[in-house]
Amino acid sequence: MLRWLRGFVLPGVACQKDEDDLRYEILFQDLDSDGDGLVDIVELQEGLKNWGLSSGQNSEKHIFEAGNTNDDSGLDFEEFMQYLKDHEIKMRLAFNSLDKNNDGIIETSEIIAALKSLGVNISEAQAKKILQSIDSDGTMTIDWDEWKYYFLLHPAKNIDEIAHFWKRSTIIDIGESISIPDEFTEQEKRSGDWWRHLVAAGIAGAVARTCTAPFDRLKVMMQVHSLKSRRLRLIGGFEQMVKEGGIHSLWRGNGVNVFKIAPETTLKIGAYEQYKKWLSFDDAKVGITERFVSGSLAGATAQTCIYPMEVLKTRMILGETGQYSGIIDCGKKLLKQEGVRTFFKGYIPNFLGILPYAGIDLAVYELLKNYWLEHYATNSVDPGIIILLGCSALSHTCGQIASFPLNLVRTRMQVQALEEKGTTTSMIHLIQEIHNNEGKKGFFRGLTPNIIKVLPAVIISCAAYEKVTQHMGLI
């Protein structure tokens, strides 16, 4: 619709201002579906949806509140026109801030430079996708008219908000994943929005972990009790847990899993930003290699600091009903019975598992997303929530499969009791023991419930994140 308006020629009209007024009148009439002279929020929402302009971030609400100056049930034509004219002024300022050489057009290099100045680093291919989504005449540049009509009904007020519109979050927390934190813009850091995003991500992670906690407990049970009960399967495992401790026992250990979100996320984000600075010499572009290395090191740093909580979680998951009254009681008993060393059992395989998980997770996600953008994207640089969910689920699955053997070894070491001489089975010896007694399949016991939980966890986490950010006024 807006591209059609851009190319709509009005014969005999010489004044650009009058031509725009007539175009906007046609636009208003198209929005006013019931012909009552008012555009209510439902009509505005339907119009944005029909034209493919709805961003899923309450765009119609922002536009309606900004334009409805008399606070009635709808926008009349005068209010609609005034909103568009005021918005056009803001879009002109944003256009001028991008057009650094003042030649009246925006090129790929200017998009890259502008976003980099806001702390958002993108590749040339990504910048071209952004440019193509706005370019209506195929020149691979953006003039003022193309810019104006593209953002005509988008509530962004400045280049910072436009950058946020182009930028897509990659923070998805599904429990034990070593997610690569997204980069926050300088504007988000100054305004304090960055910590609100972290709080929202933490809440979303807590909701996702809680909803999928029964699968997490079953995974650990299968990893540890595989020799004692080789027939332990999904249904049988759930029945066994319910029989032993009731329905609520399915969530045993989830409190620790949720409690460690805040320190783990804070440490991971802080370490990621610091490692990224150290690796990006001379303010060089932060590419996928730097993100991978920084993310892996950040994950290792965070895991080192909160690892005792990982041991507590495993012990509580495997504990019998009444064995521990809570996190503190569990910690006291382990310290008294097994000493300080028990809180770091399995640390080495856990540390080694971070590298393949983080690397494969990030690489597969970027590969799938970029493949879709290159082969299936048409006029948008936004793959859409369904595509991103699919990419996230597949990338997390691949990462978990690659690191699962080390995950299993870590869990087995975490539950080892100290021997008389104060020694424990080494990682190499345990690997040999699993291979000799259980074969290659032994390294993947518990993988099924772990894979089953990936997709629902990603969906729940994204849905919860969207809702929390709305309530916090971030979108």
Which pLDDT belongs to residue 282?
Answer: 44
229 vs 75, 224, 433, 436, CA distance in Å?
Answer: 68, 10, 17, 17
Exposed/middle/buried for 243, CB within 10 Å: 0-12, 13-18, 19+?
exposed
Which DSSP letter does residue 418 get? P
Task: Please tell me which residue, 186 or 37, carries the higher pLDDT value.
Answer: 37
Start-end of CATH 1.10.238.10 domains in the chain: 11-166
HSE-up (13 A, CA, CB side) for residue 116: 16
Q: 23 Cβ partners below 8 Å, 6+ apart?
A: 5, 8, 10
Which DSSP letter does residue 320 get? P
Which pLDDT belongs to residue 58?
Answer: 59
Which pLDDT belongs to residue 29?
Answer: 83
Backbone angles phi, psi at 106, to 5 degrees: -110, 130
Task: Please tell me which residue, 223 or 421, carries the higher pLDDT value.
Answer: 223
Dump pLDDT digits (tens) for 101-157. 888 899 888 888 877 766 666 777 777 877 877 877 778 888 888 888 777 777 666
**Does the domain at residues 186-471 carry the CATH identifier 3.30.465.10?**
no
Among candidates 285, 269, 112, 271, which has minimal Cα distance to 194?
269
Contact criterion met (CB below 8 Å) for 54 and 45: yes
CATH superfamily of 11-166: EF-hand (1.10.238.10)
- pLDDT reading at 3 higher than 50: no
HSE-up (13 A, CA, CB side) for residue 202: 18
Start-end of CATH 1.50.40.10 domains in the chain: 186-471
- Give the pair of three-digit tokens for residue 310: 């990982």
What is the pLDDT confidence band of residue 432, given thresholds at 50, 70 and 90? very high
Q: Tell the residue number behind the tokens 């699919």, with chain if given.
A: 390
What is the pLDDT confidence band of residue 195, given thresholds at 50, 70 and 90? confident
Cα distance between residue 195 and residue 166, in whole Å = 20
Cα distance between residue 157 and residue 155, in whole Å = 6
Cα distance between residue 65 and residue 24, in whole Å = 19
Predicted TM-score (pTM) above 0.75: no
**Listed range (4-8, 250-254, 302-306) with the worst mean pLDDT:** 4-8
- pLDDT reading at 279 higher than 70: yes
Among 66-70, 131-135, 321-325, 464-468, top mean pLDDT goes to 321-325
- pLDDT reading at 450 higher than 80: yes
∠ CA(177), CA(190), CA(153), 5° rounding?
Answer: 85
